[in-house]
């Protein structure tokens, strides 16, 4: 697979980028040769996306340089940048120069589009709207568009930022074949991913990042799955002080839950217990909390809190259930309102009349206390929530629910897009809630987080619980291994190539 290396097209030397006190990139070196696929792997916050942004010119550098010469860098960002309602032909023709009022040469455009797409070994209906294509086909169209006008005279490096985040099984293979083909035609490919298995399939060189540093730069043949996990996760996984593990009474009982991607799920969470939900993307992991809370439709199942059955959102809140959604912008908070308004926005039905007068002074005092307790900065509760950083927004969302003194705390990706300091603070708050007797259910794509926080972890696959880990078995790598769908293990594949899906980072 690793043919002779072509010329070096792009050299990255000593790249350093700091945001405030944290270094997102610290002296990163890497080289991309013609015909080579270089994969960059790493955890959330390892500096992968900063690297792409620096290469794209969206961030300025603090030190180091990108030596590109005449090579053109072409980017496929995660959102692909295609217009869903337009056809492949039209998408490929977008942005091509020429006078706006010139007549469209539709037949030519169609022919060119078909050739371009076929060059990558796929057949798509070039006249169908993009939104009707599969995610993999869409990505391939995006690649075709990025490589438009690429010929032998030009040197091109294609940068793919997490192209497989929303793809599954066969789709990944289809895309990988295209990536391989692009490299075989002489382009350099920089492939950013968090899925170690696919990286092992496609890459010639693998660069592992951790905390902004290159912790491994090795040819594909020297790498295996286990080594990569160690490189990416780091040897020393520090242990957070866990809760005492003393179980109280069962508080939350979920029986035969179904709906959305959940086929059948049952779980009992005791007072003071933190139960984790692990699983790859699409395993149903992300849907459990919302379904339990009543925020999404349940097709079956009985949820009881303290022996009382709950039916909808207001019922849940009344029974002392709190839900911190994974997407705080869309579901967690009203960004255009102030932090204090968000903090006091949960009114437990039945305990407080909506027509009650707002007492601003009292609210501010309360908000001040919460801001102190949660370490929200800047400590100005009267500021609009948009003006806070992601980590501080998340703390406000968590505080808004902790304020209701929940008996059950449902958390979805509680530290997504949050810096390390805020992450520790949020973990501390969750632990404290558990110590005070809350039953905590936390769904996370970060196995590290689950291993640190939870007393036991349920592993989901295909909408059902496939494994339960607790005690000594509850480690990051155990969760990873258990998350792999059974069929992937039995799939015929070279033994050295880890076929485990490593889907611990959110897209």
Partner 1 sequence: MSVASSVKIEQDDSVWRSARRFLSFRNISAIYIWIAMVILFSVLAPETFPTVDTIRIVLTDQAVTAVLAVGLVVPLAAGAFDLSIGSQLGLGAILVAWFLRNQELGVVPAIVASLAIGACVGLANGLLITKARISSFITTLGMSSVLLAVISWISKDAQILNLGSAFQQVANRQILSIPLSVYIMIVLAVCVWWVLDNTYMGRAVYATGGNADAARLAGIRTHAVVVMSLVSCSVLAAVAGILLSSSLATGDPTVGPAYMLPAFAAAFLGSTQFRNGRFNVLGTVVAVYVLATGVKGLQLIGAPVWIPELFNGVALLIAVAVTRRQGSSKRSRTPAPKRVAVGTAA
Positions 286 through 325 that interact with partner 1 (CB under 8 A): 293, 295, 313-314, 317, 323, 325
Selected range binding partner 1 among 75-83, 87-95, 98-106, 418-426, rule: CB under 8 A: 418-426
Asked if 31 touches partner 1 (CB under 8 A), the answer is yes
Cis preceding linkage at 175, omega within 30: no
CB of 313 to partner 1, least distance (A): 6
Question: Shortest gap between Cβ of 328 and partner 1 (angstroms)?
Answer: 8
Closest distance of CB 454 from partner 1, Å: 20
Query: Smallest distance from the beta carbon of 289 to partner 1, in angstroms?
Result: 11
With contacts defined by CB under 8 A, name the span among 116-124, 263-271, 298-306, 382-390 that binds partner 1: 382-390
Instruction: For partner 1, give the closer residue by CB, 234 or 390.
Output: 390
Q: Which of residues 419-478 bind partner 1 (CB under 8 A)?
A: 421, 424-425, 428-429, 432
Number of residues that bind partner 1 (CB under 8 A): 71
Q: What is the DSSP string of 289-355?
A: HHHHHTSS--SEEEEEETTEE--SHHHHHHTTEEEE-S-IIIII--TTSBHHHHHT----TTTS-TT
Rounded Cα gap, residues 188 and 30, in angstroms: 12
SS3 381: coil
Q: Is 368 in the site for partner 1 (CB under 8 A)?
A: yes
Q: How far is the CB of 332 from partner 1 (least distance, A)?
A: 6
**Parallel, antiparallel, or unpaired: how do β-strands 321-324 and 408-412 relate?**
parallel
> CB of 35 within 8 A of CB of 188?
yes
Using CB under 8 A as the binding rule, whether residue 111 contacts partner 1 is answered as no
Residue in 120, 191, 225, 371 binding partner 1, rule: CB under 8 A: 371
Rounded to 5 degrees, φ, ψ at 32 are -115, 120
Nearest residue (CB) to partner 1, 10 versus 130: 10
Q: Is 215 among the residues that bind partner 1 (CB under 8 A)?
A: no
Q: How far apart are CA 48 and CA 372, in angstroms?
A: 33
Q: Does 18 bind partner 1 (CB under 8 A)?
A: no
Task: Output 33 or 448, the one with its CB closest to partner 1.
Answer: 33
Compare residues 104 and 379 and give the one whose CB is closer to partner 1.
379
CB of 30 to partner 1, least distance (A): 12
354 contacts partner 1 (rule: CB under 8 A): yes
Task: Specify the residue, 73 or 117, whose C-beta has the smaller distance to partner 1.
Answer: 73
132 makes contact with partner 1 (CB under 8 A): no
Quick one: DSSP state of residue 92? H
d(CA 109, CA 104): 8
Interacting residues with partner 1 between 36 and 95 (CB under 8 A): 54-61, 65-71
CB environment 66-93: b (16+ within 10 A), e (fewer): eebeebbbbbbbbebebeeeebbbbbbb
* Residue choice 5, 77, 247, 380 for contact with partner 1 (CB under 8 A): 380
Please pick, from the candidates 376, 408, 438, 441, the single residue that binds partner 1 as defined by CB under 8 A.
376
Cα distance between residue 408 and residue 394, in whole Å: 18
Q: Which is nearer to partner 1, 32 or 465 (CB)?
A: 32
Query: Which value, to the nearest 10 degrees, does the dihedral of the CA atoms of residues 96, 80, 220, 491 take?
Result: -130
Residue the block writes with tokens 């490096």: 157
With contact defined as beta carbons under 8 Å apart, do 251 and 439 qualify? Answer: yes
**Closest to 243 measured CA to CA, from 390, 409, 403, 373:** 409
- Cβ-based nearer residue to partner 1, 67 or 104: 67
**Which residue from 236, 352, 472, 494 is in contact with partner 1, where contact means CB under 8 A?**
352
Residues near 344 by beta carbon (within 8 Å), at least 6 away in sequence: 363, 366, 367, 400, 403
Please report which residue ranges of 380-497 form alpha helices under DSSP H: 390-402, 420-435, 447-453, 476-483, 486-490
Binding residue for partner 1 (CB under 8 A) from 78, 304, 386, 477? 386
Q: Please, which residue, 335 or 488, has the CB nearer to partner 1?
A: 335
Based on CB atoms, which residue is closest to partner 1, 326 or 498? 326
Structure tokens at 428: 């501390």
Task: Compute the least distance from the CB of residue 352 to partner 1, in Å.
Answer: 7
Computed on alpha carbons and rounded to an integer, the radius of gyration of the chain in Å comes to 25
The interface region with partner 1, picked from 186-194, 232-240, 246-254, 347-355 by CB under 8 A, is: 347-355
Distances (CA, A) of 338 to 123, 165, 342, 372, 504: 51, 33, 6, 17, 33
Per CB under 8 A, contacts with partner 1 among 254-293 are: 293
What tokens appear for 176 in the block? 């990988």
Can you tell me which of 1, 83, 94, 379 binds partner 1, judged by CB under 8 A? 379
Give me the least distance between CB of 400 and partner 1, in Å please.
8
**Range in contact with partner 1 (rule: CB under 8 A) among 1-9, 97-105, 130-138, 268-276:** 1-9
What residue has token string 């339990």? 292
């Amino acid at each position: 697979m690793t043919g002779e290396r072509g010329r070096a097209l792009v050299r990255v030397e000593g790249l350093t980028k700091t945001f405030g006190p944290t270094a997102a990139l610290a002296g990163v070196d890497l080289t991309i040769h013609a015909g080579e696929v270089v994969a960059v792997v790493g955890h959330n916050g390892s500096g992968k996306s900063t690297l792409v942004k620096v290469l794209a010119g969206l961030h300025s550098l603090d030190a180091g340089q990108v030596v590109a010469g005449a090579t053109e860098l072409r980017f496929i960002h995660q959102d692909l940048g295609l217009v869903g309602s337009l056809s492949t032909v039209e998408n490929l023709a977008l942005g091509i120069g020429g006078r706006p009022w010139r007549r469209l040469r539709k037949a030519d455009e169609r022919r060119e589009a078909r050739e371009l797409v076929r060059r990558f070994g796929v057949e798509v209906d070039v006249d169908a709207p993009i939104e009707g294509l599969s995610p993999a086909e869409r990505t391939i169209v995006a690649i075709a568009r990025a490589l438009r006008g690429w010929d032998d005279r030009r040197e091109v490096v294609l940068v793919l930022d997490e192209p497989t985040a929303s793809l599954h099984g066969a789709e990944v293979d289809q895309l990988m074949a295209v990536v391989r083909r692009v490299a075989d035609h002489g382009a350099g490919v920089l492939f950013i991913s968090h899925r170690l298995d696919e990286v092992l399939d496609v890459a010639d060189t693998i660069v592992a990042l951790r905390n902004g540093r290159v912790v491994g730069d090795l040819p594909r043949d020297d790498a295996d799955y286990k080594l990569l996990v160690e490189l990416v996760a780091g040897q020393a996984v520090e242990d957070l002080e866990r809760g005492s593990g003393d179980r109280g009474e069962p508080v939350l009982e979920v029986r035969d839950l179904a709906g959305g991607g959940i086929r059948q799920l049952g779980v009992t969470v005791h007072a003071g217990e933190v139960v984790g939900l692990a699983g790859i993307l699409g395993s149903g992991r992300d849907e459990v909390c919302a379904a339990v809370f009543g925020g999404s439709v349940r097709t079956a199942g009985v949820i009881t809190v303290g022996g009382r059955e709950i039916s909808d959102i207001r019922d849940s809140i009344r029974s002392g259930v709190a839900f911190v959604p994974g997407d705080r912008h869309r579901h967690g908070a009203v960004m255009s309102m102030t932090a204090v308004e968000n903090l006091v926005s949960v009114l437990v039905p039945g305990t407080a009349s909506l027509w009650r007068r707002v007492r601003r002074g009292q609210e501010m005092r309360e908000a001040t206390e919460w801001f102190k307790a949660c370490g929200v900065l800047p400590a100005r509760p009267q500021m609009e929530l948009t003006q806070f950083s992601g980590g501080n927004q998340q703390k406000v969302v968590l505080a808004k629910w902790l304020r209701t003194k929940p008996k059950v705390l449902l958390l979805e990706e509680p530290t997504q897009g949050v810096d390390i300091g805020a992450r520790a603070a949020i973990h501390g708050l969750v632990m404290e809630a558990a110590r005070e007797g809350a039953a905590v259910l936390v769904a996370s794509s970060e196995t590290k987080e689950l291993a640190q926080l939870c007393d036991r972890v349920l592993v989901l696959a295909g909408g059902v619980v496939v494994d339960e880990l607790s005690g000594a078995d509850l480690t990051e790598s155990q969760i990873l291994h258990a998350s792999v769908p059974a069929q992937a293990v039995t799939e015929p594949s070279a033994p050295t190539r880890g076929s485990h899906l490593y889907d611990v980072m959110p897209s």
